[in-house]
Structures are given as C-alpha cells and as structure tokens.
Amino acid sequence: MALKSMVMEFGSGVDIRGGDCTKAAVRAVEAALRHNSITFAQAFDQPREAMVIRVAIGVPRPDEVDTGKVAGVLPYGSAEVRVEEGGMEIARDDGGVGTTLANAALTVYLDVPEGGMA
C-alpha cells in the first residue's frame, strides 16, 4: 500500500484586533474544514482515523503559532502541521496591535493499495 493524496482544501483566517497568529491559523483550518465533506475513507473500507492530514500554515510570525492548537481543530486522522512565513499583517493607524491573516492548505492522504481500490 502507498500513502496517496486524496484531497486538498484551503482556508483563510483572521484575528481582527489581537494580532494572534495561532488564533488566525486555527480559524484558517476551520474555514478549510467547512468547505468539504470527505467520504473517501469509507470507499476504501478504512476508518476516518486512518487519514493523514498535512497542514501548511502561512502567517507573518510563524514562531508564535501553537501547532498543537492547530492540529486540535481536526476532527479525526493524524495531523502534521508545518508553519512558514506568509499571510498578512495590517497595522493599526494608532500603532496598536493590528489584524493578522493566516492561510492554510490541508492535504489529506490515505494509505491505499497501488492502483486504487482492492
């Protein structure tokens, strides 16, 4: 069997006033999850927990993201979270903490037989 990419989904998340990169990243993953209903695990006669979900997050300050909180948003499967510089930050006119935008890409993998279904 081989780990195969089954689906990729994208989301954006924002922390409007707090500048919290983790909060924005969690919201980006939640947005990506809301755009799908994945049922292919059953098609391969596997439990949903067998899915491997690789999460790529782009935020302005990657070192501030709590990857455990990001992984905790996923309802099932095993998570691999990678954070890199990206997203966007918008400063406030008064110099206070501004708006932080995160982007997320979720790629879902399943260990399936070579050539498809058994």
Q: Which domains does the chain have, with CATH numbers?
A: 2-112 (3.30.1330.20)
Residue 66 has pLDDT above 60, yes or no: yes
pLDDT of residue 41: 81
Residue 73 has pLDDT above 90, yes or no: yes
- pTM score: 0.89
pLDDT digits (tens, 9 = 90+) for 13-34: 999 989 999 999 999 999 999 8
CA distance 112 to 100: 38
- Per-residue pLDDT averaged across 6-13, rounded? 94
Whole-number pLDDT of residue 112: 83
Joined together, the tokens standing for residue 78 give 């095993």
